[in-house]
Structure 1
Amino acid sequence: MNKKMKSAHCSIEKKDHDEMAGSARSKFEWLNSFAIRDANKRRPNDPLYDKSTLFIPPDALRKMSTSQKQYWNIKCKYMDVVLFFKVGKFYELYELDAEIGQKELDWKMTVSGVGKCRQVGISESGIDDAVDKLIARGYKVGRIEQMESANQAKARGVHSVIERKLVHVSTPSTAVDNIGTDAVHLLALKEVTLASSGFQVFGFAFLDYAALKIWVGSVQDDDSSAALGALLMQVSPRELIYETSGISKETQRTIRKYASAGSVKMQLTPLSGIDFSDAAQIRNLIHSKGFFNASTESWLSALDCTMNQDVVICALGGLIGHLTRLMLHDALKNGEVLPYHVYKTCLRMDGQTLVNLEIFSNNFNGGSSGTLYKHLNHCVTASGKRMLRRWICHPLKDIDAINKRLDVVEGFIQNCGLGPTTLGYLQKIPDLERLLGQVRSTVGLSSLLQLPFIGEKIIKKRIKTFIMLINGLRNGIDLLNDLQRADHGILALYKIVDIPSLSYLPELIHKFEERMQNEFPCGQVSDVNANGANDLAALMDVFIGKASEWSLVINAVSTIDVLRSFAAMTLSSFGAMCRPQVLLKDDVPVLRMKGLWHPYAFAGNANSLVPNDLTLGQDLSGLNRFALLLTGPNMGGKSTIMRATCLAVVLAQVCIIFAYACLFMIFFKCITDVSFSLQLGCYVPCTSCELTLADSIFTRLGATDRIMTGESTFLVECTETASVLQKATVDSLVLLDELGRGTSTFDGYAIAYAVFRHLVERVRCRQLFATHYHSLTKEFASHPHVSLQVMRAKIAGNFKSSEQRAEFSTLHEEWLRAALAVSAMDGQPDDDDVMDTLFCIQQELKSHFRKAR
């Protein structure tokens, strides 16, 4: 009976809902899919259709009540935003937004509200939670607030409607709360093609709203889009805004490619070309509106550090237009503008290399497990974690800077009490970088009281933020004082970071602590009136006047955290770690490593370590073999040791990547990882390591197509290889894995031969070239600059038996039938017929080739 009643009740509800939806569709037919148009009357099938706007027929608008007009006059300009409309003590969503509220928040839909339309809603006590949930699911959310009470409206006239305004729009790319420790970036991109060379120039500007920082710069790119890929992988934007008709199809394909390869899901937002208008107009706009006046460095100084300034300003204009629409005026008034360089003065790694080496996200599920960042990240502070990511993106090319970092890491390792002491301080420090950004946005605090109902709430939140910042800075200054007073053996720290004078900072921070303690004992914030808000605003203005000193303290604390993290990684290692010796460049580049191993390809089992020795360049006997031609069975470890070498170089110049499923990759990975490690300023997984600095790392690894961008496996391989051939120099480190496998055997061999010969005889760079073309090894067996190596494997057990599968392990001596053992391990059917057939065919082929010889 109960089930029947419940079923009947559900049927009634569904019928009512359908009738409600039908009534609304007839009333708001200009919202229906068959009739909807943007503000310029364009339909969705028009390439220039603007989904953020809506055309409302004038007749329909005239028939609306005053409150309806109030809502739809705003909504028609923000169709891409879920708009909450404040009515008394409730926030309501209407029509299309109501559908979202019903779907995402499970709210019951009714017909009422503004003009008897479909609506859902929630009381004002639950609005913050609702907004956070929608933002977490990728929606932009705005709030239309009441600017006066009902009595105040009546005082203006009997028929007056309560004044309301859209005061703020929150988006996934500008969220401040509940966003984790990773930086959240909003990136604006402007593309221009150079008439002289045909190359593309990309101006960019990206915002970290939580920290109130804007970075600007430009990159020049070719058909490979490698530089744009590097920018997208480094910044990893949550949202990318671009000119609707100003981005080429090739750039769109690149954006789609890296949108799926990054560590966060990227939202793409096309904007009107008006926002990316003439550079001179944007300059005038910035000056006339007083944007970025609170920046510790002039925004013009930041631009002076960039190339292609007009293109950069156009990108900045796009960002300004977008932030203006979102009403994020604090970012425009108080944001700090800084220059950003994708490649300058650092080890160059293009976007594909960052993907291939799984620096920030793995190629399995896009997560951080099995990545270099995850392996290195022993940081405690949020700002330290973000600095670590920036360091990984920009490994050093300066020997003195590398050695200074290594000196500090060595000091942490040798002084066993220093790490725990430093850790104790760091654990007390909140996210100072973001707290400072939020306090910077509070300039003009008293003006918030002009926002009825919500202004005082915002002020109380900012005061609590200010108190947290002061207490956190106190702990940071105490840490710096402690390190400066005691002889901890890390004096090199003061050569790395610019630490402000600690003679007056403790006294200065104490004055702020004392004032806030008197005003708000134990951090309890009561009601704030206009006079109190003005006094606090003056105090915060004085505090912000010292923003450059506070930023130096935060930078110093973050640097200490990262270098302590490097030491913690070294001390927790399962195998041998050493300090790399960085050599001055002589006639030829050098990379010599002994006992090279992969720190986490063995899943924490130290017994499975397979150390390898590697020499690229001049060895101790005087031979200059800078190219390594590597062969061996699948699952033999070629790719893993190659990757490990690359990452070790980076670790030393600023350290190790997740192994592929098969051991075939192990050798390749080890080479890559260790190479990467070297240039970060880290210890590396070797017993000894010597190298001259690399200027760039190029990789061609794996065999994948890109269906979303219409690129076949072979096209992907050729594009990446062409980029290597065009840009590699004598100081580069190049990794090519099984080049030529994307096409026929003979064509593939021809490609592999031509590319390898060019790199050996023309470029003369350090390279590792893994191949299954055994003819290639014969061609270069006697070449004076090529070293031949074979990854070998041992097979124990009977690979033909369904009851006892073969065991496979890498060795330094040759064993036969490795490929068949791998096949048996890979889950072939239990029927012995398959493996028997494989074995017979193998024996016949071997016999045939022996007779042919």
Structure 2
Amino acid sequence: RKWRGKCRQVGISESGIDEAVQKLLARGYKVGRMEQLETSEQAKSRGSTSVIRRKLVHVLTPSTTSEGNIGPDAVHLLAVKETCKELGNGSTTIGFAFVDCAALKVWVGSVEDDASCAALEALLMQVSPKEVIFNARGLSKDAQKALKKYSSTGPAAPLLSPVQPGADFVDPAEVKNFLDLKGYFKRSCNKWDHAFDGEDHDVALCALGSLVNHLERLMLNEVLHNGDILSYEVYKGCLKMDGQTLVNLEIFNNNVDGSPSGTLYRYLDNCVTLPGKRLLRKWICHPLKDVEKINHRLDVVDKLVDNATLSTAQYLRKLPDLDRLLGRVKASIQSSEALLLPLIGAKILKQRIKVFGLLVKGLRVGLDLLRLLQKECLTASLAKVVSLPVLDGDNGLDKFLTQFEAAIDSDFPNFQDHNATDFDTETLSILMELFIEKATEWSQLIYAISCVDVLRSFSITAKFSSGVMCRPVILPLSKPSNICNDTGGSTLNIKGLWHPYALGESGGLPVPNDLHLAGNTNIRYPRTLLLTGPNMGGKSTLLRASCLAVIMAQLGCYVPGETCVLSLVDIIFTRLGATDRIMTGESTFFIECTETASVLQNATYNSLVLLDELGRGTSTFDGYAIAYAVFRHLVETVNCRLLFATHYHPLTKEFASHPHVALQHMACSFKLKSQSSSPTEQELVFLYRLTSGACPESYGMQVALMAGIPKTVVESALSAAQVMKKMNRESFKSSEQRANFSTLHEQWFTTLLDISKTDGGLNSDNDDDNDLFDTLFCCGMT
């Protein structure tokens, strides 16, 4: 290590340079690589004082690394743009483009968003970028806040890189001309303009322009010339979950230390291959919303569960990372310039021979796996899940692959450590060019193998889970019905539901519970569950378990329970936990209201909504009033499937007789510490059992004792609580009287009064009066 001028320099041997670069990238540095264009002898031949020519060949960054030990997760660089709608309601469109340099793939798309930036947060959670490039002037304050929040609290903690002045595109026509002029993405399996779907492709095109410009500056020409460009949908055609829901349900990272342990991804991840693990993540981000497609996946899982002797894992364990190997082979096409570098040309050639050999041999293992499934009569079911390439015949991949295997065995028998010569350069170039002619089919084969890996992972989860698992019965989306004439509609009925990765008492399984929302063939259940119970009694666990069961079912996976019948869910909303964001100046209550506003604005009849202790971030009376109004709106206006946990016990009185609300609580009991009947001498025992009716109280004093608050303080709190109850006794009496007269009854009573005041009474020959007859019939039936 030495200083030269103002720059500190370190000497590293050529053999150790790759490891050094990976260490620098892991610490977040960008690394520019200079290479000699000639040997010292060649330089001297130009004159004794000539300086050896050098050139910057490429720039490596943490978000564009494609070689070395980059781990199983995809490494993405994301560019985002935003444009405001002309509706004047704060709605915007987010355009985006992101790249995986290791797989040589670029995705583009757009998504509608609002002031909550829920869609932008969902995009960030799904893509999990290492770096985000954006134009600060082109993003709203809300969008910039969302980026900063994700950068500071998100699992990936990406680098935020503002676009360089003059390097941004604002005119989509300019981007088109630029891409055509440069000839980028000409070798893509799709033409670049076919990747844009929908009305808002202009903003997506500008985002792509920003990404391409950035890749140009990093000299990553192989991505731009040889990469595939594909469309990406954040929400379309799948169960929608915004970014906060993915956080609340601990889908990819837990809320304790941010690691993957104790998450849905970790629970379902029994994948053997790295492409399988990446596909599993993508599937979890996009659960299906099509009954037929879900059942096709479940059919394959069923057969894999039943066929215990099938040796798919043995084949999968032999597979390298085929997706990235194919990307590296494609990157080598028509890029012989690097091979001419005097000091590292031979090393690069040796690496390319190894990569190509590993890819060909790995594809043979994958093809043999599909043939095994063919013999076991599984390919018919698998073909309904994924498009399979033609394996046999004159145009089949088997015959084509056999030729390349023979070439590898002949020309590079020791391909993993081949001593490359100048003659090998031309041979390898010809083989790669011929091989890439079927790049689309190879990608198809790799995707099919990854699907097998994920579906096998689902079967392992179903077969070896510590609790009872069942195949869900999936019903189509329901049509909205009038609240007065609700014959069931959307349903969610699970017997023996348990949380898949929560631990019960003493590390055992959680207590299973029966959950019934809405329609049933025999019994008609309410669509809303109003849940009470003590803190730590299991309310939040039950709420999360319900959502996880829906997600797993719509993934095509078995669910934790004895039986499960559910109608498709279009959106899952969650309002869980209490957090503030000091860095962005947002209080706990403000965050509560922001998330609740998104629910009220976007929830539909087919949505599943979870609200946990809404209103606790402000004063008791304001909090109760907001909880009451939100609850009533969701029950009587939206009419969705709703799980609402609360400590506001007057709510249970207000809605005790409401025909569309079920009151249940998490049961508990007491164990006496002494002969005294004082609450401070009673130990609270959680039963974690869902029981009918409202909980008598929240047992906050007992929980406070368990948490270590001194007994004298708790006794003082008990005395204060009794005084406050006495002062508010009249209010409590009013709530008791409401138990037999719900808000819906009040609405019907008002309707009846209006009918009674109509001029001339009721006439069955009058169309308007027929509507009144319908209203009366509706009230009487309910």
Q: Shorter chain as normaliser: what TM range?
A: 0.7 to 0.9
Does 2:615 align with 1:740? yes
* Structure 1 match to 2:586: 711
Select the residue among 61, 64, 67 that pairs with 1:174.
64
Whether the 8 Å CA contact 1:275–1:317 is kept in 2: the answer is no
Give, in whole Å, the separation in 1 of the partners of 2:594 and 2:241: 16
The structural deviation recorded for 1:797 is 4.8
The structural deviation recorded for 1:527 is 4.1
Whether the 8 Å CA contact 2:575–2:612 is kept in 1: the answer is yes
Select the residue among 511, 530, 539 that pairs with 2:403.
511
* Structure 1 match to 2:373: 483
* Structure 2 match to 1:645: 546
Does 2:228 align with 1:336? yes
Q: Could you say if the C-alpha distance between residues 578 and 119 of structure 1 is closer, same or farther in structure 2, counting changes exceeding 3 Å?
A: closer
* Matched residue SS, 2:137: coil
The structural deviation recorded for 1:263 is 2.5
Does 2:518 align with 1:617? yes
The structural deviation recorded for 1:276 is 2.3
* Structure 2 match to 1:203: 95
Select the residue among 294, 313, 318 that pairs with 2:187.
294
Q: Could you say if the C-alpha distance between residues 195 and 209 of structure 1 is closer, same or farther in structure 2, counting changes exceeding 3 Å?
A: same
* Matched residue SS, 1:697: strand
* Structure 1 match to 2:528: 627
* Structure 2 match to 1:5: none
Whether the 8 Å CA contact 1:244–1:273 is kept in 2: the answer is no
* Matched residue SS, 2:383: helix
The structural deviation recorded for 1:248 is 2.3
- After TM superposition, the structure 1 stretch with the greater mean CA deviation from structure 2, 383-392 or 354-363, is 354-363
* Structure 1 match to 2:79: 188
The structural deviation recorded for 1:497 is 1.1
Whether the 8 Å CA contact 2:477–2:569 is kept in 1: the answer is no
Superimposed CA distance per residue, residues 14-56 of structure 1 (whole angstroms, 9 cap, x where no aligned partner)? xxxxxxxxxxxxxxxxxxxxxxxxxxxxxxxxxxxxxxxxxxx
Whether the 8 Å CA contact 1:585–1:692 is kept in 2: the answer is yes
* Matched residue SS, 1:567: helix
Give, in whole Å, the separation in 2 of the partners of 1:492 and 1:649: 23
1:346-745 equivalences in 2 (<5 Å): 346-418=238-310, 421-487=311-377, 491-503=380-392, 504-586=396-478, 588-602=489-503, 607-620=508-521, 623=524, 625-652=526-553, 679-745=554-620
Residue type of the partner of 1:215?
A: W
Whether the 8 Å CA contact 2:493–2:565 is kept in 1: the answer is yes
Aligned residues: 711
The structural deviation recorded for 1:448 is 2.5
Select the residue among 152, 158, 166 that pairs with 1:274.
166
The structural deviation recorded for 1:846 is 6.9
Q: Could you say if the C-alpha distance between residues 135 and 564 of structure 1 is closer, same or farther in structure 2, counting changes exceeding 3 Å?
A: same
* Structure 2 match to 1:792: 667
Residue type of the partner of 2:448?
A: A
Give, in whole Å, the separation in 2 of the partners of 1:817 and 1:792: 11
Unpaired runs of 5+ residues, structure 2, are 480-488, 734-782
Please give the root-mean-square deviation of Cα atoms over the aligned residues, in Å: 2.4
Superimposed CA distance per residue, residues 339-360 of structure 1 (whole angstroms, 9 cap, x where no aligned partner)? 0000010011111111111111
* Matched residue SS, 2:494: strand
* Matched residue SS, 1:426: helix
* Matched residue SS, 2:211: helix
* Matched residue SS, 2:116: coil
Q: Could you say if the C-alpha distance between residues 778 and 220 of structure 1 is closer, same or farther in structure 2, counting changes exceeding 3 Å?
A: same
The structural deviation recorded for 1:324 is 0.8
Residue type of the partner of 1:833?
A: T
The structural deviation recorded for 1:453 is 1.1
Unpaired runs of 5+ residues, structure 1, are 1-107, 653-678
* Structure 2 match to 1:95: none
Q: Could you say if the C-alpha distance between residues 229 and 336 of structure 1 is closer, same or farther in structure 2, counting changes exceeding 3 Å?
A: same
Q: Could you say if the C-alpha distance between residues 760 and 273 of structure 1 is closer, same or farther in structure 2, counting changes exceeding 3 Å?
A: farther
Superimposed CA distance per residue, residues 610-629 of structure 1 (whole angstroms, 9 cap, x where no aligned partner)? 11111111244553511111
Give, in whole Å, the separation in 1 of the partners of 2:324 and 2:416: 21
Does 2:37 align with 1:159? no
The structural deviation recorded for 1:606 is 7.7
Question: Normalization by structure 1: what TM-score?
Answer: 0.80
1:773-784 equivalences in 2 (<5 Å): 773-784=648-659
Give, in whole Å, the separation in 1 of the partners of 2:511 and 2:682: 25
The structural deviation recorded for 1:307 is 3.6
Give, in whole Å, the separation in 2 of the partners of 1:748 and 1:179: 48
1:208-227 equivalences in 2 (<5 Å): 208-227=100-119
Residue type of the partner of 1:183?
A: A
- After TM superposition, the structure 1 stretch with the greater mean CA deviation from structure 2, 519-528 or 838-847, is 838-847
Residue type of the partner of 1:823?
A: A
Superimposed CA distance per residue, residues 500-552 of structure 1 (whole angstroms, 9 cap, x where no aligned partner)? 11103222212111111111223254443444212211110111111111111
Question: Normalization by structure 2: what TM-score?
Answer: 0.87
The structural deviation recorded for 1:264 is 1.3
Give, in whole Å, the separation in 2 of the partners of 1:455 and 1:299: 32
* Matched residue SS, 2:709: coil
Q: Could you say if the C-alpha distance between residues 191 and 817 of structure 1 is closer, same or farther in structure 2, counting changes exceeding 3 Å?
A: closer
Give, in whole Å, the separation in 2 of the partners of 1:848 and 1:757: 27
* Matched residue SS, 2:384: helix
Bigger RCO (CA 8 Å, 6+ sep): 2
Whether the 8 Å CA contact 2:357–2:416 is kept in 1: the answer is no
Select the residue among 731, 750, 760 that pairs with 2:625.
750
Select the residue among 121, 124, 142 that pairs with 1:232.
124
Give, in whole Å, the separation in 2 of the partners of 1:540 and 1:123: 31
Q: Could you say if the C-alpha distance between residues 457 and 611 of structure 1 is closer, same or farther in structure 2, counting changes exceeding 3 Å?
A: same
Give, in whole Å, the separation in 1 of the partners of 2:59 and 2:256: 35
The structural deviation recorded for 1:803 is 12
The structural deviation recorded for 1:837 is 3.9
* Structure 2 match to 1:826: 707
Give, in whole Å, the separation in 2 of the partners of 1:815 and 1:228: 42
Select the residue among 139, 155, 173 that pairs with 1:263.
155
Give, in whole Å, the separation in 1 of the partners of 2:569 and 2:91: 26
- Aligned identity (percent) is 55
Give, in whole Å, the separation in 2 of the partners of 1:432 and 1:534: 24
* Matched residue SS, 1:496: coil
* Matched residue SS, 2:465: coil
Whether the 8 Å CA contact 2:682–2:702 is kept in 1: the answer is no
